[in-house]
Amino acid sequence: MMCMPPDTVLKSLNQALHHVFSTDARVYLLGEDILDPYGGAFKVSQGLSTNYPERVLTTPISEAGMIGVAAGMALRGLHPVVEIMFGDFLTLAADQIINHIAKFRWMYNDQVRLPMVIRTPMGGRRSYGPTHSQTLEKLFLGIPGIEILAASSLGDPGEMLANAILQSEDPVLFIENKLLYPLSLFSVRDSGDLELETSSDLYPVYTLRICGAPPPDLTMATYGYMAELALQAQHQLAFEEEIFTEIVVYSKLSPFQIDPLLLSLHKTSRLLTIEEGTLTLGWGAEILARCFEQVGNKIVTASRLAAHEHPIPASKPLEEYALPDTKRIISTVHHLLQRGECS
Amino acid sequence: MLSTIEFYRQIYRIRRFEETILENFASGIFFGTTHTSIGQEANAVGIISCLLPSDIVFSNHRGHGHFIARGGELVGLFAEMMGRNTGVCGGRGGSQHLYWKNFYTNGVQGGIVPLATGAALAEKYKNSNALVVVFLGDGTLGEGVVYEALNMASLWQAPILYVVENNHIAQTTPIEMGLAGTIHDRFHAFRIPCTCLESSDVERIAITAHNLLEDVRDGKTPRALVLDTHRFAPHSKGDDTRSAEIIQNLREQYDPLKILSGRINHADIIKIESEVIHEITEAFQQALASPYPIPADKCRLSEPENDVYAT
């Protein structure tokens, strides 16, 4: 089979699935409407049922059931992948995720392993309305026993997925923001004015700065699709206003290490967290708390940017208003820099 | 099939184990709570005695009997319930969260049923000869995920035996107030052949289970067995709302030990019981003498990067 190197996030994820199916017979896929020619609602699973019909199980509309079945398969040595059509539907399987798969290894005293991956698209800006647009991973962040990863266009999202499927011994929740799918990978873009630093972790932390710029004044911490908006804001701030920032993008949201962010914060002393989920008790709150615990005396100013605290509206203008965008990132950066000067 | 004497021994072992728990609970040596299967032991023994070592058992909050029938260590179970380091899960799981070889339990009603189904499918896909037995109660049938699992088991022909131990009471709620329709019809709706047995006779249960398990193993297909059974003890410790008279009546009619005792001579019964009492007492004392786990060793996640949150 001819296999062009992937140029989009969607192709990267799809090719990674084909790769793991071809190299490891323990890999199975369960999900709704994943058979060809449909290949899943967002086409990430396309082609798998044609090539591996016996290992692709199209399921009834039973999120809890399919995650439980996959967990049973994982307990018995297979490496199942579950596609949940919309991340919003993870709530249907919350008991399976929290009280079963996240618990078994630990509560059975490390005597079992559950190597399984639940992949799911999250996020808005497609006008799907309140129950098909949310960014709900915050409900699962911090639950011991499950790793939560978020793809972005940085690095190799497909490789990250393949590692989660084949190398992780523990259950993984793999978050894919819907707007990432058609995006070109950062590695194939013309981004000569950016310097990208990649940590050596299996699921790296990425740090981005403008090449040859003066020391940055502010750090933006983010993940997933929000990294794209942060990159746009970083570019505009640098080239239109000569405000220089550093972006730190997490691939592994939970459990996570704060240190790579502290390295940047040592330089900037100013922090903005950006997430697409709602603000209160969210990802940014934890990031800020950890930073203040570690280097509170070094932080001049900090803020969080997130979705407004109401359900995601269907109407496009309402939805755009609800979610963080480049404009709001830039205005929050302005605000933080002014606050920093006053203090 | 086991001899009648051996059946008696196994049932009595579970009975004495659980009586020992209830007798000693008030002293504070056991942590948390407990759910005993006193009166229902013939289900565990009858079915599990038909299994091969490679077969897999999923159980529930009322799982001590299943664990012991499967051959699980008595010391390890006592110690687990006492929160000791020598517990089968090092004190992390307690009464409702047990793992031992191919035996798994969890404390949330019904949640383990899709896992059991997935495990059965995995064994089929791996071309192993192993099958799965999962134990449910009548109260568990209120959980929606059970039906998701039955649907998939039938669609994909999982080699699994669903055993419903219908003790007619869910904690304190009688079955008439919690279950519409019939249990049999629930399985029938998914085209899973279902056998119902109204008996506390372990030998009848074992014969029925043996035949069903043959169907499951040879046909790679799901089956269901609904056992009409009776719990003589409270749901937990002191929470029985039934009258003493009702319980006494159940004991007289349905005690699996009493049913068997007519088939064994009295001297054998005396011998078995004294051997089991000795075995249980030894295990209890051994568990009691074993150390508590050290939180700094035990209370961390598997990844070294995570903080120790108990010091």
- Secondary structure of residue A307 in the 3-state scheme: strand
**Rounded distance between C-alpha atoms, residue A86 and residue A90, angstroms:** 8
**In chain A, which residues have their Cβ closer than 8 Å to the Cβ of B83?**
none
**In chain A, which residues have their Cβ closer than 8 Å to the Cβ of B90?**
109
Q: Which residue has the tokens 């940055």?
A: A216
Rg over CA atoms, chain A = 20
Contact criterion met (CB < 8 Å) for A96 and B114 = yes
Higher-scoring residue by pLDDT: A283, B234: A283
Instruction: Give, rounded to a whole angstrom, the gap between the first and last alpha carbons of chain B.
Output: 51
Contact criterion met (CB < 8 Å) for A73 and B104 = no
* Distance to chain A for B21, nearest Cα, Å: 22
Q: Which amino acid is at B45?
A: V
Per domain, the residue ranges of chain B are 4-298
**In chain A, which residues have their Cβ closer than 8 Å to the Cβ of B148?**
60, 62, 64-66, 68
> What percent of chain A has a predicted confidence (pLDDT) above 90?
96
**Backbone CA torsion sign across B194, B198, B200, B204:** negative
CATH superfamily of B4-298: Thiamin diphosphate (ThDP)-binding fold, Pyr/PP domains (3.40.50.970)
> Strand A301-307 to strand A270-278: parallel, antiparallel, or no bridges (unpaired)?
parallel
Contacts for A239 with CB less than 8 Å, ≥ 6 apart:
none
Q: Is B127 on the interface with A (CB under 8 A)?
A: no
Q: Which residues of chain B have pLDDT under 70?
A: 300-311
* Distance to chain B for A205, nearest Cα, Å: 15
Tens-place pLDDT, residues A66-122: 999 999 999 999 999 999 999 999 999 999 999 999 999 999 999 999 999 999 999
* Distance to chain B for A272, nearest Cα, Å: 25
pLDDT of residue B304: 40
Contact criterion met (CB < 8 Å) for A76 and B301 = no
pLDDT of residue B303: 47
Quote the distance between the C-alpha of residue A94 and its chain's center: 19
Tens-place pLDDT, residues A144-195: 999 999 999 999 999 999 999 999 999 999 999 999 999 999 999 988 899 9
Neighbours of B309 (CB within 10 A): 10
Paired tokens of A56 = 């692709």
pLDDT of residue B301: 56
Q: Closest chain A residue to B101 measured between Cα atoms?
A: A111
**In chain A, which residues have their Cβ closer than 8 Å to the Cβ of B155?**
60
pLDDT of residue A1: 47
Contacts for A128 with CB less than 8 Å, ≥ 6 apart:
A86, A312, A314
Paired tokens of A166 = 């084949």
pLDDT of residue B311: 28
| Residue in B86, B95, B145 to test binding to A, most A beta-carbons within 10 Å | B145
Paired tokens of A172 = 């993984």
**Rounded distance between C-alpha atoms, residue A308 and residue A322, angstroms:** 5
**In chain B, which residues have their Cβ closer than 8 Å to the Cβ of A64?**
114, 144-145, 148
What pTM did the predictor assign? 0.95
pLDDT of residue B306: 40
Could you give the C-alpha distances from A311 to A131, A141, A224, A323, in angstroms and in order? 8, 20, 20, 10
Q: Is B294 on the interface with A (CB under 8 A)?
A: no
**In chain A, which residues have their Cβ closer than 8 Å to the Cβ of B293?**
none
Q: Which residue has the tokens 């992948």?
A: A81
What is the set of domains in chain A, with CATH numbers? 9-180 (3.40.50.970), 190-342 (3.40.50.920)
* Per-window interface: B 70-99 vs A, CB < 8 A: 88-90, 92-93, 97, 99
Contacts for A333 with CB less than 8 Å, ≥ 6 apart:
A218, A220, A233, A237, A243, A245, A272
pLDDT of residue A3: 66
Please give the ipTM for the structure prediction. Answer: 0.95
Q: Closest chain B residue to A96 measured between Cα atoms?
A: B111
pLDDT at A343 over 50: no
CB B153 within 8 A of CB B123: no
Chain A residues touching chain B at CB-CB below 8 Å: 28, 57, 59-60, 62, 64-78, 80, 95-96, 99-100, 103-112, 144-145, 170, 255, 257
pLDDT of residue A340: 63
* Distance to chain A for B25, nearest Cα, Å: 23
**Backbone CA torsion sign across A64, A68, A69, A74:** positive
Paired tokens of A45 = 């699973």
Q: Closest chain B residue to A108 measured between Cα atoms?
A: B89
Phi, psi of B180 (to 5 degrees): -90, 155
CB B90 within 8 A of CB B293: yes
**Rounded distance between C-alpha atoms, residue B223 and residue B162, angstroms:** 6
Quote the distance between the C-alpha of residue B116 and its chain's center: 14
Contacts for B288 with CB less than 8 Å, ≥ 6 apart:
B29, B78, B82
pLDDT of residue B297: 75
Contact criterion met (CB < 8 Å) for A72 and B148 = no
**In chain A, which residues have their Cβ closer than 8 Å to the Cβ of B299?**
none
Which of A28, A65, A80 is facing B114, going by the closest CB pair? A65
